[in-house]
Amino acid sequence: MTDFDATRALFDLPDGIVYLDGNSLGPLPRAARERVAREVSHAWGTLLIRGWNEAGWMDLPETVGNKIGRLIGAPEGSVVAGDSTSVNLFKALTAALSLSGERKVVLSDSGNFPTDLYVAQQALVALGRGHALKIVAPEEIDGAIDETVAVLMLTEVDYRTGRLHDMTALTAKAHGAGALTVWDLAHSAGALPVDLSGAGADFAIGCGYKYLNGGPGAPAFIYVRPEHADRVSPALAGWMGHAAPFAFDLGYAPAAGVNRMRVGTPPILAMASLDAALDVWDGVSMADVRARSIELSETFIAEVEARCPQLALASPRDPARRGSQVSFVFAEGYAAMQAAIANGVVGDFRAPDIMRFGFTPLYVGLADVVRAAGVLERVMGERLWDRPEFKQKAKVT
């Protein structure tokens, strides 16, 4: 059994708050704080340029990629860390289309995160091969997979409602229709068991700063199924993805395997933070994380529904169909969330009316969840959300 008291002690959380926003920005692992300080003062400060060879900087995208790979069912050498999730989506989608022949449809759903849809729309324009992005409702995806589809591009867990797609079934269906798959694991990696190999997924990407706790703007990651990795033609071909970066050849020759998906110089301080943050997972079973996350979210839903009749559940009621977050609809959700935050319960808000709460067993326990429901009861019962100071929208909601 995973010792969740022990994992909680690995994080530096401010006193007195219940943090239910680790699905948006994971908190600070103590090891990441120490590692970044050491990387700055020792590696950068004293090794200077030698850090690339002597502090392992050059290999960090692979080292970090392999640590992430263990959490998502990806074999050694099939994941690299770097760039943002948005950029990795561009890399994955264009790589998939480099393998996919003459079909013209990229299929996605209206529950996808907007950046994924924006990146895809413009990538298809830039490719200029006549592809079109087809967006259907999440529940219509299964029926829309047919032999016109080149690539099925989905986010496994809906950022608003937490609805979970069946990656294994949809990947099998896509393959049956002759399509490739690109999965965005932004709300999956570190949140629930993922088995990319078992599902046969072709490409996957995900985020380093949510459930992986790498810090604000932490590097993202990309997975390429090993049997494709030596065949894909990267659209963003940089020197770090070249077969011999320090040969300085004028012509591009891709590195072997997933390393060709690297582009430019990795952000070492951010990469080091993520590297240290991933050690939190040593000795953690993802099955235990999932079981505890369900226990937390089920308790939260029961408590909130008993105490706050004003809030309507926006997430699937069946925990097997949810990721690790729970959302409630409330017309004044922004102000209500601000009032909750002012009272020590931190979640976030997604327009137009979603109050979102993430459940992260590494550092959130049952008592936290019950306390959070109690605060929401006060916010609702005493109409704290109706105060003007909570209605001023900030840039980030």
Ligand X SMILES: *Cc1c(COP(=O)(O)O)cnc(C)c1O
b/e 13-26 (16+ beta carbons within 10 angstroms → b): eeeebbbbbbbbbb
Among 85, 100, 108, 327, binds ligand X (CB under 6 A): 85
What gap in Å lies between CA 196 and CA 78, rounded to an integer? 10
Q: Is 184 in the site for ligand X (CB under 6 A)?
A: yes
- x-or-dash string of contact with ligand X, 155-174, rule CB under 6 A: x---x---------------
Q: Smallest gap, in angstroms, from Cβ of residue 119 to ligand X?
A: 9
Q: Smallest gap, in angstroms, from Cβ of residue 104 to ligand X?
A: 24
Q: Which is nearer to ligand X, 116 or 368 (CB)?
A: 116
Stretch that binds ligand X, among 164-172, 183-191, 321-329, 334-342 (CB under 6 A): 183-191
CB atoms within 10 A of CB 199: 20
3-state secondary structure (DSSP) of residue 161: coil
CB atoms within 10 A of CB 75: 14
Binders of ligand X in range 87-146 (CB under 6 A): 113, 115-116
Looking only at Cα atoms, what is the longest distance across the chain? 68
Q: Which is nearer to ligand X, 35 or 187 (CB)?
A: 187
Q: Which two tokens stand for residue 158?
A: 């809906």
Among 28, 59, 84, 313, binds ligand X (CB under 6 A): 84
8 Å CB contact between 178 and 160: no
What gap in Å lies between CA 360 and CA 25, rounded to an integer? 11
What gap in Å lies between CA 345 and CA 337, rounded to an integer? 8
Q: Is 203 in the site for ligand X (CB under 6 A)?
A: no
Among 68, 192, 204, 207, binds ligand X (CB under 6 A): 207
Q: Which two tokens stand for residue 327?
A: 């959302």
Stretch that binds ligand X, among 68-76, 184-192, 312-320, 354-362 (CB under 6 A): 184-192
Which residues belong to the active site?
113, 184, 209-210, 356
Closest by CA position to 222, among listed 242, 237, 208: 208
Q: Which is nearer to ligand X, 156 or 332 (CB)?
A: 156
Q: Smallest gap, in angstroms, from Cβ of residue 304 to ligand X?
A: 23
Contact set with ligand X (CB under 6 A): 84-86, 113, 115-116, 155, 159, 184, 186-187, 207, 220
